[in-house]
A and B are shown apart, each in its own frame.
Chain A
Amino acid sequence: MADCTYTVPDKDVSGDNLYGPRICYQPFVDWAWKAFRFDGSFWGDGWGFDDCCNTDKPLARTFNAIWLLTYSAEDYGNEDYGSDALHWGSRFVRDQISGYDLRAKCGDGSANATTFGAGCTEYRETVKWDCTQYRDEGYRKCGSWPWWASWLCYAWYWVSNIVCVAWGYVASWVCAIGNEIATDKRIELYNTTFFYGLDVPGRAGTLVHECRHISGKAHDANFPSWSNRPPGKSGADSSWDYKGAWMYDALYNWWFYAEGSRTTQAIRDRAKADANDVILNCFATKPTFTVN
């Protein structure tokens, strides 16, 4: 008796029948397995290690997402970070995941993926963000002081910011040492939501989203009153300019919609809908634009 089970939804609609034949290519399989840090112990036992072209199974469905992420730019060989998300999406995920393992797990049905081991970096980045906000707010106040006193004000906020950021770094290093001992750094992908609830671009977007968390950018706001997610619940980003996981997620889908190749119009239209949903519902500031 297996720990969990799945039902395979329509594979024409999810895009798995489109991408499935493309992943079944040994050089791609070998490259993706290594570059995306699949943890072999967690992909046997029904997850697809011995049947990696079978898009009924989780491993092939993950390969499909990786294929989309990797080859959807017309000139897929250009992965320059100075380019756009469609070009650097795959490289970003590979680079970020390099210190982590990718595992398949049953999950409890509520989440589609979780990143473990990014908490210390997350803490450091949150502290850094808060310190910078505090400093910038302080600088604005200093501007209203008389000129002969304002330098003292600026100096105060400058020094406070340095001490504050330094605290974040020291605390995160101590945390990281404990983390190395207590936790395996990993991304867990869950049955059934990741593998069977999401279509192929949805899975690719989730990988980009999770890998933004690896660099320590937690969601910093609650869903706003107008959101279709439960308003007031944590998990939103404060704004597009916060450059958090939702921005990466939406930006990747947007570029894929605008310029994605080796795909179909229907899959691109679906990516557009996904991007718009994020833009309208996952930021705490009111939206000013949507996808054209």
Chain B
Amino acid sequence: MPRRGRVLLAIAAALVIGVLLRRRRFNVPDTVDKLVDADDPVPSTEAGSLVREFLRDMNASGDGADDVYGRTLARLRERAEPVVEAFANSYRAASRDAYNLRWALVYGAAKLEHPAALTFLREVARSPVPPEESDDHHFSTAKEESIIRTTAVEGLGRLAVGGEREAEEGLFEALSHPTFSVRVTAAQTLLEGDDSAATRNRILASLPANEAFVLEIRRVTVREVPQVDPREHLTPPARRSPSSAAPPPVGEGPGPPRSEFPAGRRPPTVPKD
């Protein structure tokens, strides 16, 4: 073989080995282990037990789950002041990255629709969103923090509808919050209560100078916005081989009824690889 041929062969072999090594590098599974369950910041007091009940019942299922949830909320309202204190203390004690829990605590305080929640909701609504900690656009700590505040603003909205002047003031205050989605939620909540020219002017005066367009953002139903037909966006393999349909969920269709289905720990019975 001529020298040039041998050199080319060596380069090709190096390339193939390089590619194979690169593939191998990304084909090594990781191992993972559980450390602990997250700390529970809800206090072990009577009011704390009610908060814990709320957190459990807000996402309960089964026959009568809605009634149970309704009764739990009613019990919380009967003891609104200590319960709000328990919500607020749990919120403050929660780890900052327990975003879902912190959201649920604010959501619970808002659901009370009780004046006792006003101070806590205002405190959350006015607190600034900490700087973004994630490098990736898919997961955003600023998003999680913003949602906690918009939920507090919506809670203030419910109180304002009930005639709480201080809640309305809290909404106007939120119009100058540094986070855009908090300002939009506040403006929309205020307009929902009173769409008069006077309110619009007051909102306009409280918003940053270049944000008059916020008043034109409408709350609409999902049927009113442009939809998408995903068939335009399927990749060729997907177009060639449609996937199989799902089996009926437990309790529906020909499978076992939910009550008889044994809880177990079975790996998938289809081949692992």
A-side interface residues toward B, CB under 8 Å?
Answer: 2-10, 12-15, 17-18, 21-22, 24-35, 38-42, 44-47, 49-54, 56-58, 67, 70-71, 76-77, 79, 81-82, 84-85, 88, 90-92, 94-96, 98-99, 103-106, 110-113, 116, 121, 181-184, 191, 193-194, 197-199, 206, 209, 212, 214-217, 219, 223, 226-230, 233-236, 240-241, 243, 247-248, 251, 254-255, 257-258, 262, 264-267, 269-270, 273-274, 276-277, 280-281, 286-292
Closest CB in chain B relative to A241 CB, distance in Å: 7
When distances are taken between beta carbons in the complex, the residues of chain B under 8 Å from A99 are 235, 237-238
Give Cα distance in the complex from A34 to B135, angstroms: 32
Are A29 and B268 in contact (CB-based, < 8 A)?
Answer: yes
Are B219 and A52 in contact (CB-based, < 8 A)?
Answer: no
When distances are taken between beta carbons in the complex, the residues of chain B under 8 Å from A212 are 233
Give Cα distance in the complex from A40 to B268, angstroms: 10
Question: For the complex, is B234 an interface residue (Cβ under 8 Å from A)?
Answer: yes
CB closest residue in chain B, given A257 = B222
Question: For the complex, is B4 an interface residue (Cβ under 8 Å from A)?
Answer: no
Closest CB in chain B relative to A146 CB, distance in Å: 36
Are B55 and A10 in contact (CB-based, < 8 A)?
Answer: yes
Give Cα distance in the complex from A270 to B156, angstroms: 17
Closest CB in chain A relative to B265 CB, distance in Å: 5
Closest CB in chain A relative to B188 CB, distance in Å: 7
When distances are taken between beta carbons in the complex, the residues of chain A under 8 Å from B31 are 2-4, 45-46
Are B30 and A281 in contact (CB-based, < 8 A)?
Answer: no
When distances are taken between beta carbons in the complex, the residues of chain B under 8 Å from A17 are 56, 59
When distances are taken between beta carbons in the complex, the residues of chain B under 8 Å from A247 are 228
Are A267 and B59 in contact (CB-based, < 8 A)?
Answer: yes
Give Cα distance in the complex from A81 to B234, angstroms: 11
Give Cα distance in the complex from A226 to B231, angstroms: 33
When distances are taken between beta carbons in the complex, the residues of chain B under 8 Å from A56 are 34
CB closest residue in chain A, given B134 = A110
When distances are taken between beta carbons in the complex, the residues of chain B under 8 Å from A4 are 30-33
When distances are taken between beta carbons in the complex, the residues of chain A under 8 Å from B234 are 92, 95-96, 215
Question: For the complex, is B241 an interface residue (Cβ under 8 Å from A)?
Answer: yes
Are B147 and A277 in contact (CB-based, < 8 A)?
Answer: yes
Contacts A9-B38, A45-B31, A289-B225 supplied; 5 other A-B pairs, CB < 8 Å:
A26-B266, A30-B268, A67-B249, A76-B246, A274-B147
Partner of B227, one of A24, A44, A84, A214: A84
B-side interface residues toward A, CB under 8 Å?
Answer: 19, 22-23, 26-27, 29-38, 40, 55-56, 58-61, 65, 69, 97-101, 103-104, 107, 129, 132, 134-140, 142-143, 145-147, 150-151, 179-181, 184-185, 188, 213, 216-222, 224-235, 237-239, 241-247, 249-250, 255, 261, 263-273
Partner of A292, one of B19, B37, B219, B250: B219
Are A286 and B213 in contact (CB-based, < 8 A)?
Answer: yes
CB closest residue in chain A, given B65 = A264
Q: A3-B30, A12-B59 are in contact. Are A291 and B219 (CB under 8 A)?
A: yes
Closest CB in chain B relative to A96 CB, distance in Å: 5
When distances are taken between beta carbons in the complex, the residues of chain B under 8 Å from A269 are 107
Are B222 and A255 in contact (CB-based, < 8 A)?
Answer: yes
Q: A98-B237, A110-B136 are in contact. Are A182 and B19 (CB under 8 A)?
A: yes
Are A28 and B27 in contact (CB-based, < 8 A)?
Answer: no
Q: A28-B246, A31-B244, A292-B221 are in contact. Are A184 and B229 (CB under 8 A)?
A: no
Are B140 and A53 in contact (CB-based, < 8 A)?
Answer: no
CB closest residue in chain A, given B145 = A228
Chain B facing A: main interface SS: loop
Give Cα distance in the complex from A26 to B264, angstroms: 9
Are B143 and A241 in contact (CB-based, < 8 A)?
Answer: no
Are A182 and B180 in contact (CB-based, < 8 A)?
Answer: no
Partner of B266, one of A7, A29, A233, A281: A29
When distances are taken between beta carbons in the complex, the residues of chain B under 8 Å from A191 are 30, 32
When distances are taken between beta carbons in the complex, the residues of chain B under 8 Å from A216 are 235
Are A38 and B268 in contact (CB-based, < 8 A)?
Answer: yes
Interface centre among A35, A46, A98, A99 (most CB of B within 10 A): A98
Closest CB in chain B relative to A128 CB, distance in Å: 12
Are A31 and B230 in contact (CB-based, < 8 A)?
Answer: no
Closest CB in chain B relative to A250 CB, distance in Å: 9
Q: List 21 A-B contacts (CB under 8 A).
A: A4-B33, A6-B34, A9-B38, A10-B98, A13-B100, A22-B250, A31-B244, A49-B268, A50-B267, A53-B264, A71-B246, A96-B235, A110-B134, A110-B139, A214-B235, A229-B137, A243-B232, A248-B228, A266-B104, A289-B224, A290-B220
Give Cα distance in the complex from A122 to B56, angstroms: 43
Closest CB in chain A relative to B86 CB, distance in Å: 15
Are B227 and A229 in contact (CB-based, < 8 A)?
Answer: no
Interface centre among B55, B100, B140, B185 (most CB of A within 10 A): B100
